[in-house]
Amino acid sequence: MTLLSFDHVSRRYSVGGSEVHALDDVSVTIDAGEFVSVIGPSGSGKSTFMNLCGCLDTPSDGRVTIDGVDVAGMGEERLSELRNERIGFVFQQFNLLARTSALDNVALPLIYSGVKRKARHIEAMRVLERVGLGEWANHHPSQLSGGQQQRVAIARALVNEPVLILADEPTGALDSHTSAEIMCLFQELNGQGISIVLVTHEQDIAAASSRKLNFRDGKVLSDERIEQTLFLEPGLEATA
């Protein structure tokens, strides 16, 4: 089943009187359940692609559909509903609220979904446990390691039970051992049926996915299915 479809999609920006083709005639489809890595040099269009996947932006040309629904036909309100219900976002810098406990950080998206306080806390606790941080619920981000903070951010992305997680360089701020643990978690979530699209510029990290989309100058240079490297439990080296 197709989850995301890009049909001749371009995204142009006008900069100082000239046009920048951030994405240039990209056609690609991603099925439900896939784990796709997006690689390419800086400026090649990776973030632009992710923003379109996440309904944070609309194309200059061409068509983006999610679950068969044309994103261009949706109003801003419907788009933000779609984002909140179906998509979880994970970023390089975690983007947690500093003066807020892990639990309240995770519970935040549920406020926008209209869930009551008590139920929010029960749900948030459930996902914190799912990412192995149940005992850290009352700690603030500054009391947590980088890897733990990224787990909190992943829990926040999971709290609305998304079908798709979009992660833009989620291991970019982590050491290689912690990165492997985070990739192990993504693989576990993918195994539970969540689709993942993940930007990285490290081949080691891309190896966790089963498909590599390689961007260059706003175009898809190559699109290859790869043998997935399994990242095992914490403490174990990644093996093929």
Q: Is 214 in the site for ligand ADP (CB under 6 A)?
A: no
Q: Please name the residue that has the structure tokens 């080691």.
A: 204
Q: Which of residues 37-76 bind Mg ion (CB under 5 A)?
A: 46-47
The only residue of 48, 101, 149, 187 in contact with ligand ADP, by rule CB under 6 A? 48
* Minimum gap (Å) between residue 46 Cβ and Mg ion: 5
148 binds, among Mg ion, ligand ADP, none (CB under 5 to 8 A by kind): none
Which token pair is 81? 């509903």
59 binds ligand ADP (CB under 6 A): no
Residue 37, contacted partner among ligand ADP, Mg ion, none, CB below 5-8 A by kind: none
CA distance 159 to 168: 18
Angstrom distance (rounded) from CA 80 to CA 82: 5
d(CA 141, CA 175): 18
Closest by CA to 90, choosing from 62, 50, 57, is 50
Residue 13 interacting with ligand ADP (CB under 6 A): yes
Which tokens hold the place of 149? 């903070």
Q: Which residues are 66's β-sheet partners?
A: 4, 69
| Partner from Mg ion, ligand ADP, none contacting 187, C-beta within 5 to 8 A by type | none
Would you tell me which residues interact with ligand ADP (CB under 6 A)?
A: 13, 15, 20, 22, 40, 42-48
